[in-house]
Each structure stands twice: as structure tokens, then as C-alpha cells.
Amino acid sequence: MMNNIAPSKAIQPVKIIEVENLVSQFGDNLVHDALNLTILKGGITGIVGGSGTGKSVLLRTMTGLRKPDSGLVRILGVQPFSEHKGGQGLARKWGVLFQDGALFSSLTVLDNIMLPMREQLNVPFKFAQELAYMKIFLVGLDADVGRLMPSELSGGMRKRVALARALALDPEILFLDEPTAGLDPIGAAKFDDLLLELTDALGINVIMISHDLDSIFKICDKVAILAEGKVIIHDQLDDILAFDHPWVQAYFAGPRGRQVQSQIKII
């Protein structure tokens, strides 16, 4: 008897970020020279590189804060700089946590988190307030934190509040710029655990710039290395560690890298 059931098609990976031949230049300083990077849906991607390799410039370009000098960027299939409706509404689909948190010092925690809801979606005040408290709980803080000013928060609390604001619009993508910078080892480890819990629970895609080897080894599914104006490798950590490049080997296989790897093996 002939089987008339058509074979199932393999599920194609979804591209959430596509950067093609990106050129970023400041005067005579060429930061990105035809840089290419494709990030697929799912998990946490780390972006790593030495000082001056343009990690933050790349993040600003992907989030529509800086227009490419040349090349193309697509986020969720749409160009951030497009004048069409899709491009204009794209910022609602991502959240950004800047390195210092970038909280508004004159606003309470609650008002900081409510701000994207009120400005971008015109959510009624009462509803926005309820949603803001949900985000506060989501990042592991108590309701009382909502009435505090940013100056009254510890470094770890500021990071969590900034994360709550980045999650305000229920984004599909979360961009993080050095999320554990300035935190002590215990605070950084707790923040890493929180990110893992959130990506697990919400299915959110995370793009993270980091120098923190502990975080990179603990939570990143893939890592993209910037050097010489390009992404020289974008792969899982095992392949990154085996990649024959002077900077990569010095960074990941140096004393600090070996220490982190040995701790992971012990655990």
C-alpha cells in the first residue's frame, strides 16, 4: 500500500538579526569594515571583543540609534531605519539595558518602568502602574522598590530596575550592554541566574555585550567575536576555544579564562 503522507519539512531557523556588510566610520577611524552577523532565534548570544572593536557601536546600530555608514541591518526582517510603518514600530519589539542602567534620576522606579508604556503605547496610567509592578516582581524585587528614586538603589537593584524597564513592552529581543559591569561576583552571579530564568520562562532572545568571562561561560549559547573590523567567528564556546586567533586565545585561554573553565569543570 502506497504511503500518501507527505514527508514533513524540516523547520527552518528564524533569523532575528541580519547585519550585512556593515561599515561604521568616525572620521578616519574605520570601526566596522564590511561586518556580517546573523543571529538566529533562541537563546543568549554574547558579543565579545577588545577595546575599540565597536561592540557598543554595533549595538547602537542594531537598535536604530546609529545609522550605518554603509551596509544593511534587519531586525525581525525589518530595517530599523525604514520610514515605512514596520520600521517605525520596530522599537517596540526590543528592550535595551544600557551599561549604567540609564534610569531617569528625577523619576521613581515605578515611573521609570511605566515610561515606555505611556510614551510608546499610550497605556492608561492605572493599567501601566499595574504592569510596572508585574515587571518589578518579574525581576525579583519587592513592590516597595517602586516608590524609591534611582539614587536610593544599590548597584544590583539598579540593574534589575533597568531590566524591568527593558521588559516593559514584552519585547521579543533584549539587548544588554555589559549587564554585570560594576556588580560584585555574588550580584553578577544572581543577575546571570535571573537572565537564564527569564529567557527560559519568556522565550526571549538576548543579545549581550560582555567582558565578564563568568557570564559568558555560564549563560551564552553562542558568542560572536569582533576583531579587525569584522566578526571573525560566531559559534558555540567549544568552537570559539579551538579557534586559532591570537586575541581569542589570549582572551579565552589566558590565566583568567583557564581559571573560569576549571571552575566550570569542578562544578
Exposed e or buried b per residue across 218-257, where buried means at least 16 C-beta atoms within 10 angstroms of its C-beta = bbbebbbbbbebbbbbbeebeebbeeeeebbeebbeeeeb
Give residue limits of the domains in the chain: 43-64+93-266
Judge whether 59 and 177 are in contact, CB under 8 Å.
yes
* Distance in angstroms (rounded) separating the CA atoms of residues 49 and 228: 10
Across-strand partners of 30?
25
Judge whether 261 and 85 are in contact, CB under 8 Å.
no
Does domain 43-64+93-266 bear CATH number 1.10.540.10? no
Of 235, 251, 226, whose CA–CA distance to 34 is shortest?
226
pLDDT digits (tens, 9 = 90+) for 10-49: 677 889 999 999 999 999 999 999 999 999 998 999 999 9
pLDDT digits (tens, 9 = 90+) for 166-212: 999 999 999 999 999 888 889 999 999 999 999 988 889 999 999 89
Quick one: DSSP state of residue 168? Answer: T
> What pLDDT does residue 1 have?
47
Look up residue 255 and give its three cell numbers.
590565566
Phi first, then psi, for residue 151 (nearest 5°) are: -65, -15
> What pLDDT does residue 14 have?
87
> What pLDDT does residue 84 have?
53
pLDDT digits (tens, 9 = 90+) for 102-159: 899 999 999 999 999 988 888 899 999 999 999 999 999 999 999 999 999 998 899 9
Of 144, 150, 147, 148, whose CA–CA distance to 162 is shortest?
150
Secondary structure element (H or E) that encloses residue 51, with its range: none
> What pLDDT does residue 102 have?
87
**What is the strand order of the sheet 29-40 is part of?**
29-40, 15-26, 70-75
